[in-house]
Chains A and B, each alone.
Chain A
Amino acid sequence: MMQDVKINSYQFLVLVILFTIGTSILTVPSALATGAKQDAWIAAIIGTGIGLLVIWLLITIALWFPHLTYVQMIEKLFGRWIGKALAAFFVLIVLFYASELLYYFGLFLNIHMMPNTPMVVLNILMAGIVVMGVRLGLETFARTAEILIVVFFAFFFILVVCLSPEMKFENIQPVYEMGTKKIIQSSIFYVIVSSVNAVVLLMIFPSFVNKMKQGRKTFLIGNLIGGIVIIIITFLSVTVLGIDKTAGEIYPSYELTKRINIGNFIQRIEGLMASLWVITLYFKTTLYFYASVLGMAQILNLKDYRPLTLPLGMIAVVLSLVIYPNIIYQKHFDDTTGNSLTLSIGLFLPLLLVVIYAIRKRMKKNEIEI
């Protein structure tokens, strides 16, 4: 029941794009502008480059076991008990991330659109559609993504065109003032948020995509397109708002849309931008949640993952209200432990997998020779 799901490579491309843009469109411009000042857009370009390297590593690992998901790979390489423990850690962290994104969604709507509604209601609404998407299955939400990506790029195009008259190039001068070291350091956060997190996509990548060889290219192209969107958003934020405003705002790209003013007639279209976020956030949350539910079902060798969705959705809503007591805590956590967590599941664990795979392969070869 779990294995006969297949999506085609275009649907996978769309999911990768939406996943890469995901939360980066919210948080990355301000994080980059804090470190790299007016060179934030260069940092975004470098970050996309480093991100592609990370994705290449993930693809290499994924293609060793074309019919297994990430959780099954870990179990196969590390043996039963250590493998199950590491996989359980991965699943737990991914569930925390799903509830983290519920928090982002609730907080954003609470601050900017519906200040009188309690945050828990917004979280439950979002969790409701996420659970619904996961219950209907990967194929269904991949097709939804196929439709909504058109809406996303149409709105994004409108946004860029409307903002282009407001750009002031004085804001990014002098170019390259911060130096290579500072720029690379500040791009690390962006690499972590949008590329290292893509390890979650290994839960669907080789096993549920029908043409594997194309899927390899698709993963890289999707990440690149997502990266370009982030580069454009960062560039616009810095040129339109200036460095201090971009670094100081929590949601600089929302502030950006408030500046749109064409002939004193087209104004205040920030609702459009909000819909861009809701689309990307929804798909990122759904992929996280899908990965955690499917991973949990595979660790416990269940025949179907669907019975777990509703109770886990309930847990995710509670967690989304508990994990961040306030926004200062969230900022601090994202800068410190959030990075370590993502790096440990998305970079150190795959590197460990590479080492173990090499050792086991060598041992097998020796056995044959003997």
Chain B
Amino acid sequence: MIKTIGIILIAAVIVWIEVPPLLEKQYKKELLVFSILLAIGGGLSITLFGFEKTIPNPFDLLTFIFKPLNDFISHFLK
């Protein structure tokens, strides 16, 4: 619980640093991308530290996709 609060506090600090200059310059698209990325980052951190759930490993997926190329390269190296 305390970790979740900590992560939310960090996210709040990031918003406090980044958002006022963006609003001032009226960068709407930047603000949108920033919010999406912050939501992803905050969500992942809370899942990992707050709820202590495991996150699926992106490298497993990449290993699955790149299996043919891996086999080809290891064949070439032997």
Specify the main secondary structure of chain B where it touches its partner. Answer: helix
Q: Given A188-B77, A322-B48, A341-B62, does the pair A304, B70 have CB atoms closer than 8 Å? A: no
A311 neighbours in B (Cβ, 8 Å)? 14, 34, 37-38, 40-41
- CB pair A336 B37 closer than 8 Å: no
CA distance A308 to B41 in the complex (A): 11
The count of chain A contact residues (Cβ–Cβ below 8 Å) is: 33
Tell me the smallest distance from the CB of B6 to a CB of chain A, in Å.
Answer: 11
Nearest CB to that of B55 among chain A residues? A322
Q: Which of chain B's residues have a CB closer than 8 A to the CB of A318?
A: 41, 44-45, 48, 55
Interface residues in B13-64 (C-beta closer than 8 Å to A): 14, 17-18, 22, 27, 29-31, 33-34, 37-38, 40-42, 44-45, 48-49, 54-55, 57-59, 62-63
Instruction: Answer whether residue B73 sits at the interface, using C-beta atoms and an 8 A cutoff.
Output: yes
Is B33 a contact of A344 with CB atoms below 8 Å? no
Q: Is the CB of B70 within 8 A of A340?
A: yes
Would you give 19 A-B contacts (Cβ < 8 Å), ordered by A? A96-B58, A303-B30, A307-B30, A308-B34, A310-B17, A311-B37, A311-B38, A312-B37, A314-B44, A315-B40, A318-B45, A319-B58, A321-B48, A324-B59, A333-B63, A336-B63, A336-B70, A336-B73, A337-B70
Q: Please give the residue numbers on chain A whose beta carbons come within 8 Å of chain B beta carbons, in ascending order.
A: 96, 120, 185, 188, 296, 300-304, 307-308, 310-312, 314-315, 317-319, 321-325, 333, 336-337, 339-341, 343-344
